[in-house]
Structure 1
Amino acid sequence: MKAKKWLLGLMMSILIVGVLGACGNGDDKKLVMLTSADYPPYESMDTNTNEIVGFDVDIAKYITKELGYELEIKDMDFNSLITAMNAGKGDFIMAGMTPDEDRKKNADFSDIYFTAKHLIVTKKDSGIETTEDLKDKTVGVQTGSIQEGVAETVAETIDIKIETRNRIPEIIQEMLVGRFDAAIIEDTVAAGHFKNNPELTGFEVKEVSEAGSAIAFEKGSDLTVEFNRVLNEMKDNGELDKLVVKWFGGEE
């Protein structure tokens, strides 16, 4: 009798371990998105829910759902994103990132999913109305951003001092208190700061090309092809346009 009970107990233990093991395998279907949640409307922290929300987040949720993955989002400074991904801390990056040549050396990219312009942002009473007016001025940009490269391009023909900060709100604050004369920020991101700070204004940097955003992956990742397939389906079926309207078309 004791032998039967022992055998039954052993079988139950094996069954429980098997079930737990099967549940654990579900982790294999989770993807970690790395982002820098200081870049509305692409991504920012919702202070009411303490969750990261935005255009990129909605795209990531749609794609991962279509591919059968759970999604986890990790926030960090923009300039550390690619390094962190290549260190195994995430599976892909969505952070309004432009696939320039330097980044392509360390990551693969999806097709472009949104294109925006670069703006020179200033206080309305700054007297800065053209790129040439930046001569001998201090210009703020986000560390590691495409706008840092834009500032360096401007500096090739105009004598400016470039200052970097990790987060866009830091740059805005530096301008508001007078430590920066101007900043270079993507137009869609600048729009929210114009709304919150009526004393700010901006104009397009004509000397450089528009900024296109893409999803970054580790070199050789199979996810690049998978994400591109769904991303292009979103372009064809109108889902991407819906999100553009939601996040860039004036909806709160």
Structure 2
Amino acid sequence: MKKACILGSVLSLGLFLNSAQARPLNEVLATKTLNVVTTASNPPHGFLDPGTNTLQGIMVDIAKGIAQHLGVSISFTNVPFAGLIPTLTSGRADLMAAPLFITEERAKVVDFTTPVYGWGEGIIMTADSKQHYPDFESLKGHKIGTLVDSVQYRMLKDMPGTTVSTYQDYPTLLADVRARRIEIGLIDPPSITYQIQSKSIPGLKLDEQYKPQNDWKIGGAVEKGNADLLAAVNKALEQMKQNGELHAILDKWGLSQLMVK
């Protein structure tokens, strides 16, 4: 467990800009390969299947669909959550396909695609907890865990009298909630529900009384100013929406209700 620290404000992330030239669309098409950065730390959006040792998940499937529409093969780079934007802005990837919310702050550093799906924040706690947290202000003064460099962390970091611990992944966060090293986690409900169900994790529950104050959206992203590639990816996403591919991908993972119309 690490004390709250943010790995890269917009200013520090900006240092990665221009460190390498982004590959334009014509180069991607010429090499017939789309280099994609993702993270295996957030099932069902992205994870490493232990049986096949391959990347799986919603954003992985979406990236594969985009590559197919562009007529190219795909090459994935798996990094920790905090490494997604630096990998993209350093030119080591053409496209980011990961559960990273579209925010104004991040949009100063990368160019996001049109949004695909989204949700608001949620609360995870021990199953025997009698306390409820009806809104964000009710979290004040508690010991809370969240992912490092996440939008949830940015919500919490300036809350007075609150102890915030950050984690590289949700399994570690959930373990600390179960062990009562933290009281609650401020999390992405789809990710947590999937992990609890798929791994049969006992002793945890979502606070159904909590009302999120946000409605974040997820899409892909390209390096800032890579306009032709962004337009091509957005065209592919629109085609996937129109022909039902996007709905089928989200439905496969049980989240079709979260698709942006």
Q: Please classify the TM superposition score into its range, dividing by the shorter chain length.
A: 0.7 to 0.9
* Correspondence 1:173 to 2:175: yes
Moved over 3 A (4+): 131-135
* Correspondence 1:49 to 2:52: yes
Aligned partners of 2:178 and 2:214: how far apart in 1?
Answer: 27
The alignment partner of 1:248 has SS state of coil
The alignment partner of 2:130 has SS state of coil
The answer to whether the 8 Å contact 1:128/1:134 transfers is: no
How far does the alpha carbon of each residue in 1:30-55 deviate from its partner, in whole angstroms, 9 at most, with x for none?
11111110111111010000001011
Change (3 A) 1:95 1:167: same
2:144 — aligned with what? 139
Shift in Å, 1:81: 1.2
Shift in Å, 1:151: 2.8
1:22 — aligned with what? none
Match of 1:241, as an amino acid? H
2:246 — aligned with what? 240
The alignment partner of 1:162 has SS state of strand
Match of 1:88, as an amino acid? G
**Alignment root-mean-square deviation, CA:** 2.1
How far does the alpha carbon of each residue in 1:151-188 deviate from its partner, in whole angstroms, 9 at most, with x for none?
347x26xx421111111211111212221111111111
* Correspondence 1:161 to 2:156: no
Aligned partners of 2:29 and 2:111: how far apart in 1?
Answer: 26
* Correspondence 1:97 to 2:100: yes
The answer to whether the 8 Å contact 2:91/2:223 transfers is: no
Unaligned runs of 5+ in 2: 1-27, 257-261
The answer to whether the 8 Å contact 1:126/1:181 transfers is: no
Aligned partners of 1:235 and 1:69: how far apart in 2?
Answer: 19
Aligned partners of 1:199 and 1:146: how far apart in 2?
Answer: 26
1:62 — aligned with what? 65
The answer to whether the 8 Å contact 1:41/1:248 transfers is: no
How far does the alpha carbon of each residue in 1:52-106 deviate from its partner, in whole angstroms, 9 at most, with x for none?
1011111110110110121111111111211121112111111111111221111
Work out which of the two has the higher radius of gyration on C-alpha atoms and give 1 or 2.
Answer: 1
1:228 — aligned with what? 234
Aligned partners of 2:69 and 2:238: how far apart in 1?
Answer: 12
How far does the alpha carbon of each residue in 1:212-233 deviate from its partner, in whole angstroms, 9 at most, with x for none?
1011110011221111111111
Unaligned runs of 5+ in 1: 1-24
Shift in Å, 1:135: 3.8
1:210 — aligned with what? 215
* Correspondence 1:78 to 2:84: no
The alignment partner of 2:48 has SS state of strand
